[in-house]
Amino acid sequence: MKRIKKRYILTIILFGIAILTNPKKDEYIQFTEETIGEPAIDVEVEQINFVIFSSYTPIIFGEHGITHLGIFGQFIQISEGQFDYPAWLELFN
């Protein structure tokens, strides 16, 4: 019984940390400016917020760029970019 309680407490703590460290859109924009550089044109950023993590995709001239997963304050690339919009994200549009 104690083992089950410890698992629930650990799970709740991890979810809490994930929620508190879920990156915001401004953090993603800062991340892209640091890694790629400031864009020469205005770029629209599509954000899908899943509370414990978010996905961010830049849209330039109607084309989707590289999608990043924002979780625990980090950004992880999950697509290769142009024409490679993750199919599972279509469910949330």
Give the C-alpha distances (Å, rounded to integers) separating 15 from 49, 60, 74: 15, 33, 15
CA separation, residue 62 to residues 13, 75, 76, 83, 85 (Å): 40, 23, 23, 10, 12
pTM: 0.76
Domain locations in the chain?
2-90
Give the tokens for residue 76: 């992880």
Q: Contact, 53 vs 93, CB < 8 A?
A: no
Give pLDDT tens digits for 36-78: 888 777 888 888 888 899 999 888 888 888 889 999 999 999 8
pLDDT in tens, 20-43: 999 999 999 899 888 888 877 788
